[in-house]
Chains A and B, each alone.
Chain A
Amino acid sequence: MGLFTELKDSISRVTDRLFSEEEPKRIGIYGPPNAGKTTLANRIARDWTGDAVGAESHIPHETRRARRKEDVEIERNGKSVTIDIVDTPGVTTKVDYEEFTDEMEEDDAIRRSREATEGVAEAMHWLREDVDGVIYVLDSAEDPITQVNTMLIGIIESRDLPVLIFANKIDLDDSSVKRIEDAFPQHKTIPLSAKEGENMDEVYENIAEYFG
């Protein structure tokens, strides 16, 4: 991209944000498969609207289409923000239907993998075009330094999108929030357990302050 095109895009993004102050901000929940994105999206949606966003499962790629929960108003410590939560499929560079055949029939596994690939492609497209900020969810019991995480964080940074990193699953014995902080020191990392509802006050405080 040329200098002037990039400058024009940067200015356009800034003015878009200024003039759309009253509109809900579209916050994409991104991360690898099975990091707990939908569990977190459901926790936030239930806490502030009473409704869930989508089904949760231990099988990778349970979320195969991005789902949006609109007008979620979050208030903490005098700060508030209205967001549309966009729960996206886990981003990956490979999908093998045989990974699902232990859990389901082959036809269902093939259908699941096809839907997953379409969902990831959509999520990548939307990251370039249709989100105002990102909540990046990582499983704190897993090594965060993977190629997909590094690439995704780089893509988000290149688009100058505000990003909060959530270190999920702190209820697990192998959890290490420091490992995530050390991997991405340029971003704020907030520990939580979306499943158990641990540390959600700090989560909402940061969402209201950072995206508000």
Chain B
Amino acid sequence: MPKATNADDPDAPDGVQIDLISGERMDGMATMEKIRMILDGVHDGNIVILEEGLTPDEESRLIEVTMSEISPDEFNGIEIETYPKSKANDSSLLGRIMGGDESAAKLTVIGPANQIETLHKDETLISALVSRD
């Protein structure tokens, strides 16, 4: 992954870095590796976009780890948006047991809570405002 832009670094480029991470790259990663990669990017002020989103268990752990890293005046947490799952993709209990739910592709946008604001979201569009601190 390229070196992230750091808002505190005077030599850093004047802009917001966006990391678009493919499903293929995420496939080989353990849950905590994914979470570390996401939060390291967000801590550096980046917007992280996941091609295939996270599983519910990974989302749960992402919230848990994010909470443990919040610190006054340094890191307020994350904004996260995912397309709602299409009703056509709703799976049965059997489907979930067989792992069908795990592979449902859904794009997810994650960014620092103090820099990203969701303006609009529906089934086909996530519109976000990103400010530079």
Contact = CB atoms under 8 A, between A and B. Distances in A.
A118 B72 contact: no
Interface string B86-119: 0000100100111101100000000001100010
B48 interface: no
A94 B84 CA distance: 21
Interface residues of B, number: 34
Contacts of B114: 96
B50 to A, nearest CB: 14
Contacts of A2: 99
A120 B66 CA distance: 10
Nearest to B112: A94
Given A7-B97, A94-B76, A147-B81, A124 B56 contact: no
Contact of A95 (B76, B90, B93, B118): B76
Interface of A is mostly: helix
Contact of B79 (A94, A117, A154, A157): A94
B68 interface: yes
B32 interface: no
Contacts of B55: 158
A98 B95 CA distance: 44
B59 A96 contact: no
Contact of B56 (A93, A94, A118, A157): A157
B101 A158 contact: yes
Contacts of B102: 1
8 contacts: A6-B97, A93-B77, A93-B79, A95-B77, A120-B63, A121-B63, A121-B67, A159-B56
Interface of B: 55-57, 59-61, 63-68, 70, 72, 76-82, 84-85, 90, 93, 96-99, 101-102, 113-114, 118
Interface of A: 1-3, 6-7, 10, 91-97, 110, 113-114, 117-118, 120-121, 124-125, 127-128, 145, 147, 150-151, 154-155, 157-160, 186
The 4 closest A-B pairs by CB, nearest first: A94-B77, A158-B56, A94-B113, A121-B67
